[in-house]
Structure 1
Amino acid sequence: MITAVRHGQSESNVAYARAQASGTAVVLTGADEDVPLTPLGRRQASALGRRLARERGPDVVWCSPYRRAVQTWELAAAELSAVPEVRFDARLGDRLMGELAGMNLAAIMRRFPEEARSLLRAEYGYRPPGGECFSDVADRVRAVVGDMRAGYAGRRVLVVAHDAVVLMLKHVIEGVALDSVAAFAPVTNASVSVWRGSRAEIFNDDGHLRDISL
């Protein structure tokens, strides 16, 4: 069984949401892998841990090395009675945006209008300069799933990662076509998705977050 969770709300999530609501361009500075959780994201991660504890925690954890994912796991783990084996794997990192890193769509349209048009024409097939398209993310996710199945068959595996990774797990495990994955986005912060074999039992479930104050 593979359970996947997206990290809790991060500071970049908040910055992008505010920019979208106001229609402004934003370019975040600093490395994407260093972005931390917000206070709400920390509460979400703890609530996730309480859910995992109720459902019998994982046997092994595969975690993105990005700070927001690591923090999510650490806070969730604090709610568990026993800490499982943990592996940090760069293949579970967020989608690389290359020269467009840190930019929201408004900023891309202002600085790189041709790239913005390409992105809008085919979001899931678009590869930014120096970055990844979703099929690139799918390739590394597919390799990780292969390693999980080879080394941890019959065990409860938890993946702590990013929205792009969770969407590509749906593509890889269930065979959902890349051009159909958009119907399942966005993946909610700290939501839970569970697969047994090639079947999704739940996807993007956030019921454990309903009592978390904003």
Structure 2
Amino acid sequence: MLGCETKRGACMAGSSRKPSGKLYIVRHGQSAGNVARDVAEANGDELIDLNHRDADTPLSDLGWAQARALGDWLAGLPEDARPDAILASPFVRAHQTAEVLAEALGFDPKRIEVDERLREKEFGVLDRYTRHGIQSKFPDLAAQRGMVGKFYFRPPGGESWCDVILRLRSVVDGIRLTKPDCRVVVVGHQVIVNCFRYLLEGMREEDILAVDREGDFPNCGYAEYDIDAGPPVQFALRHGRFVAPTLESIEVTSESDVPTGPR
């Protein structure tokens, strides 16, 4: 992983105090898939009408506006809180969001660190099915998911929340090792935000499911942590579900990501 500008310690060059940083876990702006999903659910369709794979789903017009609003907010933060590093999921909607943030912060887009471990949860055979479609086409899987619960349920060819958490553990370790004194933005997806919270706050299954029941995470909202560079490196929650005032002036959305299978 690249450092903010340089390697560990350089962010605090010339300072005698202990290095410290920030971590912002951002959900991408509203996507065209979010819009298509709402239409399919409202019509009672079994499948979401998309002409491309989930990884290629772009931002909607509103999603672009949300990303710009968040970028304006982050760029206006005090210097000791303003991001100096961006990590992003390779999925188009997340990377487009990251590019808008980079522009607002005055970054070269080449500084965005694309990391496949930040990709959306994989839904396997349930990809693109609505809730109605899953009940209709895969009643046995729907029953199994009801018994096992969303935290442990893994659809054929897909992932459970635990699988996502496993790949994110190494992302957190990388931040601890190379960016504890930097101000890092991670742009990912709804499940990614929740799974980061699970890891960084030392949660158990019941804790993160309680957070999930609060509602879908806002598009271009973020969870914010202070990083104490230690040793040991520690993360302290400041905001679990923050929506920037600049975003509220556009429109706040929180639709589930596509595919719509059990998250």
1:72 aligns with 97
Identity %: 33
1:26 aligns with 47
2:229 aligns with none
Q: Matches of 2:180 and 2:244 in 1, distance apart?
A: 28
Q: Matches of 1:9 and 1:213 in 2, distance apart?
A: 10
- Larger mean CA deviation between 76-85 and 159-168 belongs to 76-85
Choose which of 48, 52, 57 in structure 1 pairs with 2:74. Answer: 52
Choose which of 38, 45, 60 in structure 2 pairs with 1:38. Answer: 60
Q: CA RMSD in A?
A: 1.8
Q: CA offset at residue 22 of structure 1?
A: 4.2
CA contact (8 A) 1:96 1:132 kept: yes
- Larger mean CA deviation between 79-88 and 110-119 belongs to 79-88
Q: Matches of 1:24 and 1:4 in 2, distance apart?
A: 33
Structure showing greater Rg: 2
Q: Matches of 1:22 and 1:124 in 2, distance apart?
A: 29
1:171-199 Cα offsets, whole Å, 9 max, x none, are 01001112321222321111011112332
Choose which of 75, 85, 102 in structure 1 pairs with 2:128. Answer: 102
1:81 aligns with 106
Q: Matches of 1:157 and 1:47 in 2, distance apart?
A: 18
- Give the secondary structure class of the aligned counterpart of 1:79: helix
CA contact (8 A) 1:45 1:75 kept: yes
1:210 aligns with 248
Q: Matches of 2:67 and 2:166 in 1, distance apart?
A: 28
Count of equivalent residues: 214
- Larger mean CA deviation between 110-119 and 18-27 belongs to 18-27
- Larger mean CA deviation between 101-110 and 35-44 belongs to 101-110
- Structure with the bigger percentage of helix: 1
2:17 aligns with none
Choose which of 140, 149, 172 in structure 1 pairs with 2:176. Answer: 149
- Give the secondary structure class of the aligned counterpart of 1:99: helix
Q: 1:105 to 1:72 in 2, by over 3 A?
A: same
Q: Matches of 1:169 and 1:183 in 2, distance apart?
A: 15
Q: How does 1:179-198 map to 2 (within 5 A)?
A: 179-185=206-212, 186-196=216-226, 197-198=234-235
CA contact (8 A) 1:11 1:38 kept: yes
Q: Matches of 1:206 and 1:165 in 2, distance apart?
A: 17
Unmatched tracts of structure 2, length 5 or more: 1-21, 227-233, 253-263
TM-score (norm 2): 0.76
CA contact (8 A) 2:73 2:244 kept: no
1:86-117 Cα offsets, whole Å, 9 max, x none, are 21000000000111111121111111111112
1:113 aligns with 139
Q: Matches of 1:88 and 1:49 in 2, distance apart?
A: 18
Q: Does the alignment pair 1:138 with 2:165?
A: yes
CA contact (8 A) 1:11 1:35 kept: yes
- Larger mean CA deviation between 17-26 and 203-212 belongs to 17-26
Q: Matches of 1:27 and 1:119 in 2, distance apart?
A: 21
Q: CA offset at residue 32 of structure 1?
A: 0.9
Q: Matches of 1:43 and 1:164 in 2, distance apart?
A: 22
Q: CA offset at residue 48 of structure 1?
A: 0.8
Q: Matches of 1:180 and 1:104 in 2, distance apart?
A: 26
Choose which of 1, 4, 8 in structure 1 pairs with 2:29. Answer: 8
Unmatched tracts of structure 1, length 5 or more: none
Letter in 2 for 1:41: G
